[in-house]
């Protein structure tokens, strides 16, 4: 069971389940045992449905015995506590959430179930996902398995901590400004942010800036899950165009020579940790050794023109949450809610138009000046656990410097809709993971996945584990 336990890649586990080398119930029990061992320290999982999950695993075993071929049939997967699942409570990381269970699942949940996953529990997030750590008054502080004094990032920090700690082989996540990629960087995981419109949602939150995905250990796992959760949705207002081939095939596709743009320092004079800059530089050197052309570039991944309208967009996103008691929210959310209520529809449209103009101008550089942009995922290392939430509560009207630094390379991808991936290519002397972000052109998940797989083959990482004794 060690080789095929919760720390194994999801595709390996799925293949073993189909070969009947282990049962879905055995695998689920191994995951839940790891949660029992580690969650008291890490606070990654905030709600459990063990009985229902075991019933779903038993049903998966029956389906496997009957020869069903869903790609991840029987593989356990937790859901982030921002995303509705029919019949489950959802708290949004808040004391203000409605007590009733959700009546309808988000579309990605239905797709994950269709792929065969056994949905088991919820992972922690900041209240309404609006800061870059998984910390809130309701469930407390999620800690990083690589260093429990530090944060795993956010907003999908509970998901990242759970996967990094070996509780689950992968976890559902979503990303509106870096919430898949930042935790991937801080926890030594793969975090793929799809293009705008690639993964259907009931409503395109933040004008499609919020996208669904997973946190995994391998590029192949991320690619096959993306195949499972993306489709052309005839009811959607818009869709990303269909890919040329399944994303899974891209991991085996020979990669043509690409022009790589390297940007190792954040714009606006935002201090960039030397480890983060070095990680991007080392990745660029590796790509050059693999035959790609590398040139230093400057891209305004954060700018004065982008910040103000993007904040308007995120504040308006609070309208996504139904049945909330806004009198019970945390100070920084109360502040954002007040500002959103003071923003007119006219101002919101002005902000949206400004962001679209920025996006149109900047995305034209892909394919013209370079093919893929390489940056640090974050300008900082994982921050001390509790620091960002404390600052957000103490001065909710002030930007938290660590939040700004965290998203200084990532939020740009949400504004533009460009696909991006964080890869665990570097670490500090203390073995803290440091992620590198690759950003491809419009709709170019295929070439992005192929390039990521090429780096994974050259610089493998999947066997790295935190030094916590229980995880080793």
Pairing mode, strands 76-80 and 118-123: parallel
3-state DSSP call for residue 452?
A: helix
Catalytic entry in 7, 96, 155, 195: 155
Q: Which of 99, 72, 78 is nearest to 31 (CA)?
A: 78
- Phi then psi dihedrals of residue 120, to 5 deg: -145, 95
Distance CA 244, CA 357 (A): 28
Tokens of 385: 């656990």
Q: Which helix (H) or strand (E) holds 453?
A: helix 445-458
Angle at 106 between CA 410 and CA 446, to 5 degrees: 45
Tokens of 197: 């419109």
What residues contact residue 278 under an 8 Å CB cut-off, 6+ apart? Answer: 264, 426, 434
Per DSSP, the residues of 149-168 read TB---SSSHHHHHHHHTTS-
Distance CA 99, CA 91 (A): 8
- Using the structure block, give the residue that is written with the tokens 């940790």: 273
Annotated active-site residue 387? The verdict is no
Largest CA distance in the chain: 60
Cα-based distances in Å from 270 to 62, 133, 266, 402, 405: 54, 19, 6, 10, 7
Annotated active-site residue 341? The verdict is no
- Whether omega before 414 lies within 30 degrees of 0, making that bond cis, reads no
Catalytic entry in 80, 94, 156, 195: 80
What's the distance, CA 395 to chain centroid?
27
- Number of CB atoms found within 10 A of residue 320's CB: 16
Distance CA 252, CA 270 (A): 38
Distance CA 348, CA 344 (A): 6
Catalytic entry in 7, 179, 185, 195: 179
- Phi then psi dihedrals of residue 70, to 5 deg: -55, 135
Q: Which of 32, 26, 28, 34 is nearest to 471 (CA)?
A: 34
Q: Which of 186, 187, 158 is nearest to 172 (CA)?
A: 158
Distance CA 216, CA 424 (A): 11
3-state DSSP call for residue 23?
A: coil
Residues annotated as part of the active site: 80, 155, 179
């Amino acid at each position: 069971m060690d080789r095929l336990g919760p720390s194994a890649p999801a595709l390996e586990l799925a293949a073993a389940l189909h070969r009947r080398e282990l049962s879905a119930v055995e695998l689920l029990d191994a995951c839940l045992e790891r949660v029992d061992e580690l969650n008291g320290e890490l606070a990654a999982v905030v709600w459990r449905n063990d009985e229902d999950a075991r019933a779903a695993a038993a049903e998966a075993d029956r389906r496997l015995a009957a020869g069903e071929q869903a790609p991840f049939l029987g593989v356990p997967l937790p859901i982030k506590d921002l995303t509705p699942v029919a019949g489950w409570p959802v708290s949004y990381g808040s004391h203000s959430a409605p007590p009733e269970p959700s009546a309808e699942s988000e579309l990605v949940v239905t797709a994950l179930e269709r792929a065969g996953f056994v949905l088991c529990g919820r992972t922690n997030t900041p209240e309404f996902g609006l800061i870059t750590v998984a910390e809130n008054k309701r469930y407390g502080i999620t800690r990083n398995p690589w260093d429990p004094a530090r944060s795993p990032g956010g907003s999908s920090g509970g998901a990242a901590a759970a996967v990094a700690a070996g509780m689950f082989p992968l976890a559902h996540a979503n990303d509106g400004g870096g919430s898949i990629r930042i935790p991937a960087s801080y926890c030594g995981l793969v975090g793929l942010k799809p293009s705008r419109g690639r993964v259907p949602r009931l409503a395109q939150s933040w004008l499609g800036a919020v996208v669904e995905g997973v946190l995994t250990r391998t590029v192949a796992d991320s690619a096959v899950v993306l195949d499972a959760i993306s489709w052309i949705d005839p009811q959607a207002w818009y869709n990303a165009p269909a890919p040329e081939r399944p994303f899974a095939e891209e991991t085996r596709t020979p990669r043509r020579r690409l022009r790589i743009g390297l940007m190792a320092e954040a714009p606006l004079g935002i201090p960039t940790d030397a480890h983060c800059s070095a990680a991007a530089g080392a990745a660029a050197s590796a790509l050059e050794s693999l035959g790609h052309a590398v040139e230093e570039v400057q891209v305004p991944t954060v700018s004065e023109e982008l910040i103000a309208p993007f904040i308007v967009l995120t504040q308006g996103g609070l309208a996504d949450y139904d049945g909330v008691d806004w009198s019970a929210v945390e100070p920084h959310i109360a502040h954002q809610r007040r500002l959103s209520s003071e923003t007119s529809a006219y101002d919101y449209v002005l902000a949206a138009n400004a962001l679209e103009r920025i996006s149109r101008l900047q995305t034209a550089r892909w394919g013209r000046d370079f093919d893929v942009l390489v940056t640090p995922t974050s300008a900082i290392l994982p921050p001390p656990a509790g620091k960002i939430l404390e600052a957000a509560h103490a001065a909710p009207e002030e930007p938290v410097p660590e939040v700004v630094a965290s998203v200084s390379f990532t939020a740009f991808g949400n504004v533009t809709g460009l696909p991006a991936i964080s890869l665990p290519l570097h670490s500090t002397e203390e073995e803290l993971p440091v992620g590198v972000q690759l950003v491809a052109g419009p709709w170019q998940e295929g070439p992005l996945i192929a390039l990521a797989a090429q780096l994974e083959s050259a610089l493998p990482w999947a066997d790295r584990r935190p030094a916590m004794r229980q995880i080793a």
